[in-house]
Chain A
Amino acid sequence: MKTRNEICGYPVITARCGKIDPDSIEDYIAAGGYKALEKALNMTSQEVVDEVKASNLRGRGGAGFPTGVKMETILKTDVFPKYLVCNADEGEPGNFKDKYLMENDPHQLIEGMIITAYSMGIEKGYIYIRGEYNKPIIIMSRAIEAAREKGFLGKRILGSDFSFDIEIRSGAGAYICGEEFALIESIEGKAGRPRSKPPYPTVSGIYNKPTLINNVETFSNLPFIIQEGAEKFISIGTPSSSGTKLVSLSGNVNNRGVYEIPFGVTIRDIIYKLGGGIPENRKIRMVQLGGASGPCIPEEMLDIKLDYKEMENKGLTMGAGAVIVIDERYNVLEIVRLIMRFFRHESCGKCTPCREGNRQILRILYRFVSGNASNNDLALLESICNVMCQTSFCGLGQTAPTAVLTTMKYFRDDYLSGMRNLSTNSNIV
């Protein structure tokens, strides 16, 4: 097992967190801030995009799409205006790393956005922050104001021909608005329901114009990549996953919090070395990866590494990097029911598989929890989950049943005991 220092190694995007005053742009500049922007302004658009492509940076919001490829698509589009959006609608239960970045190093995000906008020729950017995040909204607003005063935002940035400004848009309580098109609808002042894809936002986004949407953590990596170079970025992590990942560690673990780790660290090390293990040395019942829409795995699978390729090979995803630890005091089905209640509440209702599927899954789960499930219920549950995964309109419905499917695979006995009238004591009303 590695030591804590060996695991955390070299911070890329949290180096300044907790060391500078987030409200002081002077602190940020003194710590090397906005140097990458100066460097980028002396590069061509293509050079910036090539650097990002060479870095192998993948979207940190959950989908893991190569950022440089997305940038190239926008760069090659001749339709104007183009828009830039930072997705700070961090609503997935178990994730709080974007909040951490915005509250501790807001200028890093702004700098990442300015560099991206410069390379794409974009003049208008939005940061879409969920309505529940009051503090990040206040901190980001002040930071944008300070960046304007110093000439990093606005007309003719640092004396160049490039102009760019950022506006904050707040959500109003809807998990679905983390989906790119729902977010775009919300920015346009509508209810956040997804649009049909393709065309993707890079072709037709805000007001049907090309729009680049990236997560907070993705943008925050840009200053490092430009300043230090893609080669240094690639030297951190694993061959298939370069750089670091922020992990939000929560649940039944001693040291809950946000950790920046290079790719390649095992989930077990994250829980025991960084998280300090489980309170009162209890055993782990299961661990959910990525957040509510992520897979639930048993204790014996914890030696899997946080790595895009390795996880994909095992049929798992890391999502936005949440690790939720659930100890032995809790019943698997109880937890799954709680997760599905969240999705039933958050489904936007636009498409039938998700709107009805979540409700039906919950009803069937109740039969298992109360020990009244019939022999057909297991097959029915699996069938509904598969229909949702394959036919839902957007990512919410496609990934909502992940917890059910993975617990059916790894904790099948818990389902079977719900059919043999061994009812569990559920506290969920």
Chain B
Amino acid sequence: MVKLKEIIERRGRASENLIHILLDYQKSKDTNYISEDEVKFVANELNIKESRVYSIITFYSLFSTKPRGKFIIQVCGDVPCYVNGSLNVVKELENILRIKMGETTPDGVFTLEHTSCLGCCDISPAIRIGEELYGNLTPGKIAGIISSYRRKYNENKE
């Protein structure tokens, strides 16, 4: 909770900062989610009810109340991406990661999610991993992208 307290100090205790506090903190965690204890802590620090914190993390799609992978792979499936072959990208991702949409790999490295339009329809089909965008995808490009993140993860572990 030290990190969470730091973020609250930096952002300020006004309840208008709640979304930013939660976003910053969730980004700083390998598990990419907000736990029950953390909700209690934030509510206590900002002097608001826990339900108020839950109203945020259950409303906005970037938050999760369940642990997710270190790298969240968000796949856009809206029309501009769909008509440029996003379904094949999804199939290939599910193949390589051996998980279905919405699941996390057993080693906790990747979570596969659908996302609404990422605003990069000019390079569709597109995905977002963490804060990086990848566009003009074909099934052939997926393996390389995934293994580069695996390498990154293993290097950090060492």
Residue of A nearest to B114 (CB): A345
- Name A72-109 residues within 8 Å CB distance of B: 90-96, 99
Indicate whether B138 reaches chain A with its CB closer than 8 angstroms. Answer: no
Indicate whether A190 reaches chain B with its CB closer than 8 angstroms. Answer: yes
Asked whether B60 lies within 8 Å of A257 as measured between CB atoms, the reply is no
Bound together, the chains give a CA A188 to CA B48 distance in angstroms of 14
Asked whether B83 lies within 8 Å of A252 as measured between CB atoms, the reply is yes
Specify which of A134, A248, A322, A338 is in contact with B82 (CB 8 Å cutoff). A338
Bound together, the chains give a CA A190 to CA B51 distance in angstroms of 11
Indicate whether A326 reaches chain B with its CB closer than 8 angstroms. Answer: yes
Asked whether B15 lies within 8 Å of A292 as measured between CB atoms, the reply is no
- Name B5-39 residues within 8 Å CB distance of A: 14-20, 22-23
Q: Which residues of B contact A345 (CB under 8 A)?
A: 116
Asked whether B19 lies within 8 Å of A132 as measured between CB atoms, the reply is no
- Known A-B contacts A132-B118, A175-B116, A338-B78; A251 and B60 likewise in contact (beta carbons under 8 Å): no
Indicate whether A288 reaches chain B with its CB closer than 8 angstroms. Answer: yes
Q: Which residues of B contact A96 (CB under 8 A)?
A: 119-122
Q: Which residues of B contact A249 (CB under 8 A)?
A: 122
Residue of A nearest to B88 (CB): A427
Q: Which residues of B contact A93 (CB under 8 A)?
A: 78-80, 116-117, 121
Bound together, the chains give a CA A173 to CA B131 distance in angstroms of 14
CB A73 to nearest CB in B, in angstroms, measures 25
Asked whether A427 lies within 8 Å of B87 as measured between CB atoms, the reply is yes
Q: Which residues of A contact B17 (CB under 8 A)?
A: 189
Bound together, the chains give a CA A190 to CA B122 distance in angstroms of 32
Q: Which residues of B contact A346 (CB under 8 A)?
A: 116
Residue of A nearest to B91 (CB): A427
- Name B36-64 residues within 8 Å CB distance of A: 55-56, 59-63
Digit string of A100-133 for contact with B (CB within 8 Å is 1, else 0)?
0000000000000000000000000000001111
- Name B65-93 residues within 8 Å CB distance of A: 77-80, 82-84, 87
- Report the interface size class on chain B: 35 or more
Asked whether B121 lies within 8 Å of A174 as measured between CB atoms, the reply is no
Asked whether A94 lies within 8 Å of B79 as measured between CB atoms, the reply is yes
Asked whether A324 lies within 8 Å of B80 as measured between CB atoms, the reply is yes
Digit string of A169-180 for contact with B (CB within 8 Å is 1, else 0)?
111111100000
For A132, A170, A251, A348, the residue with the greatest tally of chain B CB atoms inside 10 Å of its CB is A132
- Known A-B contacts A93-B116, A189-B15, A190-B55; A172 and B23 likewise in contact (beta carbons under 8 Å): yes
Asked whether B83 lies within 8 Å of A327 as measured between CB atoms, the reply is yes
Specify which of A132, A248, A251 is in contact with B84 (CB 8 Å cutoff). A251
Q: Which residues of B contact A186 (CB under 8 A)?
A: 19
CB B51 to nearest CB in A, in angstroms, measures 11
Q: Which residues of B contact A267 (CB under 8 A)?
A: none
- Known A-B contacts A131-B62, A132-B118; A94 and B55 likewise in contact (beta carbons under 8 Å): no
Q: Which residues of A contact B84 (CB under 8 A)?
A: 251-252
Bound together, the chains give a CA A69 to CA B153 distance in angstroms of 54
- Known A-B contacts A93-B116, A96-B122; A189 and B79 likewise in contact (beta carbons under 8 Å): no
Indicate whether A191 reaches chain B with its CB closer than 8 angstroms. Answer: yes
- Name A273-301 residues within 8 Å CB distance of B: 288, 292
Specify which of A189, A252, A288, A335 is in contact with B19 (CB 8 Å cutoff). A189
Indicate whether A250 reaches chain B with its CB closer than 8 angstroms. Answer: yes
Bound together, the chains give a CA A174 to CA B79 distance in angstroms of 18
Digit string of A244-260 for contact with B (CB within 8 Å is 1, else 0)?
00001111100011100
Asked whether A174 lies within 8 Å of B122 as measured between CB atoms, the reply is no
Indicate whether A366 reaches chain B with its CB closer than 8 angstroms. Answer: no
12 A-B pairs within 8 Å (CB atoms) are namely A96-B119, A130-B119, A132-B119, A169-B20, A170-B20, A173-B62, A186-B19, A189-B19, A191-B60, A252-B84, A288-B79, A427-B87
Chain A residues within 8 Å of B, Cβ to Cβ: 90-96, 99, 130-135, 169-175, 186-192, 248-252, 256-258, 288, 292, 322, 324-327, 330, 335, 338-339, 342, 345-346, 348, 427
